[in-house]
Structure formats: structure tokens, C-alpha cells
Structure 1
Amino acid sequence: MTMQWTGERLIPKLLKPMNGMLLEHLARYYFAAPYATGRVLDIACGTGYGCHMVVKERKREVTELIGVDLDEETVRYATREYHHQKVTYMQGDATDPRLPDRLGTFDTILSFETIEHVQDDRAFMDNLRRMLKPGGTLVLSSPFGRGRGMPTSEPFHVHQFTPEQFGELFDGFAEVELYVQRGVTFEQKQREGLRYFIGVAVCVK
């Protein structure tokens, strides 16, 4: 594989260590790693670097990690380049209603920069709820924008939620903490004047 991206799938080995986009992506996994425990799902895992990071950071706490991506070539790359005995990569559609029956339930679910690519975000969230065990933790991120159904400047994004719409995705969870990611930092209060930033939610079912 010679491209730096497959769609928006990052390949760290082909990027300079100080690449800003790479650092942002790595920061999300480092932010989420302390929440990872038991059986973990990384939905739309991309090339697998994040799965590998989390399982190495949490080698005592994580018993199994499943990385799912829509693209078969990307799954093959992840299996080859980011192998770990506790990690299994597989092809799957995050909105497929059969996915929960296929994968079972999880103590932790990670979903980074995925929901903005999905036409039916409600089906996507329904699958995540079905796959998350009671008391389990979901960590999900997505860039903010003009709102559901509105066009974006990003060619691979179906839409980008407003901060209000993003928060509403997690109605029904027992606990919800919302953060804003700016570069590699995470804040709980949105600053005025930001034109582009990423929402991060940590939710307990």
C-alpha cells in the first residue's frame, strides 16, 4: 500500500512523526486508553494502529480487542502491520443491524471520526447501544459543523453535527461527559471563536 490515506484512513508509517493530523489521531487513542477494559470494540478501526496502541497501553485490563472496518484491504493491512495476540481485525458495516449478533457485547467501545461518514447515524448509534454492556463505556468523537443533513467542505463527510446535535446522540446513557479536542489537547468547555474543532463524548450505559 503506497497511499498515505485510504479514504480518510491514516497510515502512520507513511507520515512524518510530527504530522499534525497524525498527532491528533494518536491523541484520541491516548485519551481513550484509560477507559478501555475487558472486551473492547474499535468500530471503523482503520489501519489498526489505534487498536495496537490501546492493547499495549492496557495489556492487563483489556482481555480482547476487536477492530472492525468497512474496507477489506484496510483490514488486511491492519492484520499484517499491527498484529497482536489480543487483537482481531474483521470487515464489517457499522450500520448493519446484524452486526451486534455477529460480534456480541463489549465492555468498552471506541468510535473515532466515524459517525460523520454515516448516512443513517441513528442506526449507527443503535448498534453501539446494542453492543455495549450495561455499565460499559463508549468513547466517540466527531468534528462539529453546520448540522445533520447540511453539506460540508470535507469530501468524505456526509454531514457534521452541531454541538447540540452531538450531545443529543447520547440521550439515554446513564452518564455523559463531553469534551472538545483542539490539536492534542482536550477541554470540557468550548472556547469562543473556534471555527473547527472535534467533539469527544465519554458515555456510560
Structure 2
Amino acid sequence: MLKWTGERIIPKLLKPTNGMLLEHIARYYFATPYIKGRVLDIACGTGYGCHMVAKERKREVTEIIGVDNDVQTLAYANHEYNHQKVTYMLGDAVDPGLPEKLGQFDTILSFETIEHVQDDQRFMDNLYQMLKPGGILVLSSPFGRGRGMPTSEPFHVHQLTPDEFKELFVQFSDVDIYYQRGVTFEKPREGTRYFIGVAVCRK
């Protein structure tokens, strides 16, 4: 049985009112209208999101690939969140060979992942390569002091500033940036401080 570390969300071990759980689930619901075809959930964790997507978009989705770098977490996902349209796979988000291994997708989801990797440009290059022309990427990340700067979160390499976050998506043809506050998502309002950014990008 997995233990909750504060990073990998395990819904069955958390109260339904847990704020972090609600925020994570809200991101999948936010992304739902954009999800179709062949779907990649990179750093899928325990698999609850893949399972949600498979159920919510059963008519629009043909296949979901959930990738994570932890064998034990994937075993848990296969046991607790098995679905006929979902395949869980072991993989490294910054592996240069990942695009060749996985192929291309109509939709890519990347929630709370990029702050865990040192080479965020390599990560973004992988996502871009794996997205079909016209495909949509939905990516979220917490904000912080900036690339290369220390963070108070023990599992985070760094946390980008809002401007650095926007710069990640310059190669995409169309980008919408939203900000998450609890379970709600909004466009920026003057004088409001935001802690999590969500980008919806079309290739």
C-alpha cells in the first residue's frame, strides 16, 4: 500500500474535503473539454486522473497512456484505477527517447510536473514532439522564486515565476494562460496574487 508523501495524491487516503486533493481533481475537470483522441498523462501518479478522464470522456477518447517514473506508484494505479482505455507505463519525462517510444497524441496533460525536473526545456521539447499538429497541451505548475532558485518544497527542483511560465510556450501557435485559486480558474485580475498557473496550448 502506498503512503501519502504530500506529493503523490492518493484519494483513498485523503478526506474528500482535503484542499490539495480538490485542487488536483479540479485541474482534470478543467481540462476535460479539451480532451479527445489519443491522450497522454505525463507523470500520472496514482492514476486517478487517467481513470477520471476515461470515464468523463469515454466517447471522445480512444486511448490514454499514463506515464510515471515510479514502479510502485504504477502498480498501485494498475490495481486501483484500471480501465480498458488506460495503459500505465514506466518512463522518464525528460528522456530524449520518449517521443519515439510513445508516438504522438491529440491531447497531453501535464499537471504539477515541470517543477520536479531540472531541464524544463528538454521536458517541453518532448511534449512538443509528442503532440500532433493541432493537438492541445494542458500544463499546470506552481509559481515561485524562479528557475534555479531554491524552494521550500522538498520535492521541487525550482518553481518558475509567472513570466518564466509563459515563456515555456512560445513555440505553440495558440496559448491561453489561466490561474487557479482553489478549485476555480480565472484570467488574471490586477492586484491579485496567484500561486498556480495553467496553460492551454495548441500546436
Query: Normalising by the residue count of structure 1, what TM-score does the alignment of the two structures yield?
Result: 0.97
Q: State the distance in 1 between where 2:4 and 2:40 align.
A: 24
**Superposition deviation, residue 34 in structure 1:** 1.1
**Superposition deviation, residue 202 in structure 1:** 0.1
**Distance verdict in 2 for CA 1:179–1:193, change over 3 Å:** closer
**Superposition deviation, residue 4 in structure 1:** 1.9
**Superposition deviation, residue 190 in structure 1:** 4.3
CA deviation map 1:64-91 (0-9, x unaligned): 0000001010011001100000000011
Q: State the distance in 1 between where 2:163 and 2:177 align.
A: 11
Aligned to 1:106: 105
Question: For the Cα contact (< 8 Å) 1:180–1:190, is it kept in 2?
Answer: no
2:16 counterpart of 1:17? yes
SS of the aligned residue for 1:65 comes to strand
**Uncovered stretches (5+) of structure 2, i.e. residues with no partner:** none
Q: State the distance in 1 between where 2:73 and 2:89 align.
A: 10
SS of the aligned residue for 1:9 comes to coil
Question: For the Cα contact (< 8 Å) 2:65–2:87, is it kept in 1?
Answer: yes
**Distance verdict in 2 for CA 1:122–1:13, change over 3 Å:** same
Aligned to 1:156: 155
CA deviation map 1:59-118 (0-9, x unaligned): 000000000001010011001100000000011000000001110000000000000000
Write the letter of the residue equivalent to 1:198.
I
Q: State the distance in 2 between where 1:65 and 1:113 align.
A: 18
SS of the aligned residue for 1:10 comes to coil
Q: State the distance in 2 between where 1:190 and 1:71 align.
A: 38
Cα RMSD of the aligned pairs, angstroms, is 1.0
**Distance verdict in 2 for CA 1:2–1:88, change over 3 Å:** closer
Q: State the distance in 1 between where 2:134 and 2:160 align.
A: 26
CA deviation map 1:160-193 (0-9, x unaligned): 1110000000001110000000100001114525
Write the letter of the residue equivalent to 1:55.
A
Kindly tell me the number of residue pairs found equivalent between the two proteins: 203
Structure 1 vs Structure 2: percent identity of aligned residues? 75
Aligned to 2:198: 200
